[in-house]
C-alpha cells in the first residue's frame, strides 16, 4: 500500500491504495465520488470522464500514481455544488438523459469542449463528442443540450 495526495474538486484528499490502482476506483470506492461511472473499463465508452488540469481524460485508464503530484482532478461532482452548472441545466432543458448512466461522462466532455470553443458548430460538437457512447441513443438531445449551453456565457467558467 502507498499513500497518495490528490487534489479533487479543489479539495485535498489522502488515500492509501495499492500502486497502480485505477483513478476510477479511487474516486468511486475510496472517496465516494460515484458520479464518475464504470462501464467498459477499457477506455472505449467515456462514462468515466474526468478533467485533469482541465483536459478530459478517462479515469478507468489512469493509475492514481500518475495523478498524485499536483494535478487538479475534477469530477462531475465538482462542476457545481447544486447541479446547476450551465451545461447541467441545458441537459435538463433538452431532456438529454434517458437512463442517465453515461451522462456524467457526456457532460464532462461537453464542458471541456465549451471551455476550448464556447460557440461550436454542430459538426464540431459531433467531432468532439465522438467516442462518448450512449446506449440509449440520445445523441440528438445531447447535441441540442450543448447548443443550448453554448448560448449561456457562463458555461465555460467552471
The pLDDT profile of the chain, 158 residues, written as one tens digit per residue, is 999 999 999 999 999 999 999 999 999 999 999 999 999 999 999 999 999 999 999 999 999 998 877 899 999 999 998 999 999 999 999 999 999 899 999 999 999 999 999 999 999 999 999 999 999 999 999 999 999 999 986 655 55
Cell of 63: 493509475
Phi, psi of 51 (to 5 degrees): -110, 130
Rg of the chain in Å (alpha carbons): 15
Give this prediction's pTM.
0.93
Hey, what domains does the chain have and what are their CATH numbers? 2-78 (3.10.20.30), 86-151 (1.10.150.120)
Per-residue exposure over 9-45, b if at least 16 CB sit within 10 Å of its own CB, e if not: beeebebebeeebbbbbbbbebbebebbbbbeeeeeb
Convert the pLDDT of each residue in 102-117 to its tens digit.
Answer: 999 999 999 999 999 9
Contact 111, 51 (CB under 8 A): yes
Amino acid at each position: 500500500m502507498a499513500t497518495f495526495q490528490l487534489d479533487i474538486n479543489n479539495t485535498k484528499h489522502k488515500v492509501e491504495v495499492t500502486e497502480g490502482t485505477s483513478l476510477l476506483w479511487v474516486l468511486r470506492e475510496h472517496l465516494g465520488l460515484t458520479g464518475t461511472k464504470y462501464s467498459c473499463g477499457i477506455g472505449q465508452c467515456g462514462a468515466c470522464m474526468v478533467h485533469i488540469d482541465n483536459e478530459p481524460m478517462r479515469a478507468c485508464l489512469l493509475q492514481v500514481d500518475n495523478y498524485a503530484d499536483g494535478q487538479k482532478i475534477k469530477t462531475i461532482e465538482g462542476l457545481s455544488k447544486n447541479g446547476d452548472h450551465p451545461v447541467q441545466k441545458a441537459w435538463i432543458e433538452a431532456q438529454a438523459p434517458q437512463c442517465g448512466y453515461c451522462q456524467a461522462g457526456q457532460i464532462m466532455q461537453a464542458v471541456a469542449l465549451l471551455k476550448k470553443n464556447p460557440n461550436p458548430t454542430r459538426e464540431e460538437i459531433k467531432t468532439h463528442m465522438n467516442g462518448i457512447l450512449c446506449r440509449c441513443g440520445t445523441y440528438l438531445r445531447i447535441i441540442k443540450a450543448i447548443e443550448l449551453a453554448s448560448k449561456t456565457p457562463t458555461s465555460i467558467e467552471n
